[in-house]
Homo-oligomer: A and B are copies of this chain.
Amino acid sequence: MPPINTPTDLGAIIRDHRRRQNLDQVTLARNVGVSRQWIVEIEKGKPRAGIGLVLRTLQALGVTLTVADETATPRTPGRPAVDLDAIVDAARRPRS
């Protein structure tokens, strides 16, 4: 389960899943509701493609996106487990 860090990663995943399901770009484009050329550019890793269309493409391929468990992989080891300031501010701002 490779992490998705760049638009190129996304393109690779989409192309991979499309090929696995034996779909050509035309039919995938029809299912997603997008032009064939757009599929081409997405699979190339277009950085400025709209997230809405991207998410719909993934769903058309049956691919579900999730957030990796943060506690399992401490990105910043120096970060304190509890943030006192955050707690204080939360208490300072009662809901509504």
Q: What is A's interface to B at a CB cutoff of 8 Å? A: 1-7, 10, 13, 19-22, 46-55, 59, 62-70, 73, 75-76, 83, 85-86, 89
Chain B residue with Cβ nearest A73: B64
* CB pair A48 B47 closer than 8 Å: no
Number of copies of this chain that the complex holds: 2
Interfacial chain B residues near A21, Cβ < 8 Å:
83, 86
Q: State the CA gap A1–B66 with chains docked (Å).
A: 6
Q: State the CA gap A5–B52 with chains docked (Å).
A: 9
A61 to chain B, nearest CB (A): 9
Q: State the CA gap A65–B67 with chains docked (Å).
A: 5
Chain B residue with Cβ nearest A64: B68
